[in-house]
Structure 1
Amino acid sequence: MKPVPAADRVLLDHMRQCIDRILEYTGGERAIFFRSRLVQDAVIRNLHTLSESAQRLSDALKASEPGIPWRKIGGMRSILVHGYLDSIDTETVWVVIERDLPTLVDAIERMIRRFDSGAST
């Protein structure tokens, strides 16, 4: 088993914090997200930060969760960073929040538990 860099633990915390903020801002409710551009901007910023952190995770750690679409997460970052505000599809962003974040949270929590128990991969 290859060792996982200590930076991975910090990145996992960043990812979890971003998801927590997204859920705090939206309350998990579609209406709250679509009612406020301020909330949309805050969510998009946290998705960008989450994606950036995910891209920086070691390959060994990402390999421990093969069910997570790591490339797509990185692709989301590119869209959010290079897209203009009017070109970002808020429907797609909401689908990511509703459908994809719960799975990612579960994976992050598993990786954190493995990391903290000394079995990082």
Structure 2
Amino acid sequence: MRSDRLYLVDIIEATDAITAFISDVDTEGFLNNDLVRSAVLHKLTIIGEAAARVSMPLRARFPETPWSDIVGFRNIAVHAYFSVDWQIVWQTASSDTPQLREQVVRILQTTFPDP
């Protein structure tokens, strides 16, 4: 079984990838680029899967992180992909993902400090 630390690292790596994917893209460019949309959505599903696997005790220690919303987003993206709202995906990628990264970095620093 993987550790919480590794799932948190997965989240950070996925947020970094999303940032790279959209670094030179505005809303219109995102909405008109299937490759970028697909890549971002894939990384968001990775974030959701990793968040779902973070232990409940750790999630409870950091309730400011919207764990349930993250997992719920993943479930919609995977199971109801035909109804994905790309404006919401853009908002999530461009605004929510950087905030999530900051939260997860703090969790890692607090919970798994370097020796």
TM-score normalised per structure 1:
0.83
Structure 2 vs 1, CA of residues 92 and 7 (structure 1 numbering), >3 Å: closer, same or farther? same
| 1:18 lines up with 2:11 in the alignment | no
CA offsets 1:13-44 (integer angstroms, 9 cap, x no match): 10001101111111164344223100000000
Query: Which residues of structure 1 form unaligned runs of 5+?
Result: none
Listed one character per residue, the Cα deviations across residues 61-97 of structure 1 (whole Å, up to 9, x for unaligned) are: 112221121111111011010123x421100111112
Q: TM-score, normalised by structure 2?
A: 0.87
Q: Would you say 1:113 and 2:109 are equivalent positions?
A: yes
Matching residue's letter, 1:80: A
| Aligned mates of 1:6, 1:89 — CA distance in 2 | 32
Percent identity (aligned): 31
Alignment partner, residue 8 of structure 1: 4
Instruction: Call closer, same or farther: CA 1:64–1:28 in 2, change over 3 Å.
Output: farther
- Partner residue, 1:51: 48
AA aligned opposite 1:69:
P
Provide, for residues 43-66 of structure 1, a one-character-per-residue CA deviation record: whole Å limited to 9, x for no partner. 000000110000100112112221
The alignment's C-alpha RMSD in Å is 1.9
Change beyond 3 A, Cα 1:40–1:115: same
Q: Note the 1:59-98 alignment, pairs <5 A.
A: 59-84=56-81, 86-98=82-94
Aligned residues: 113
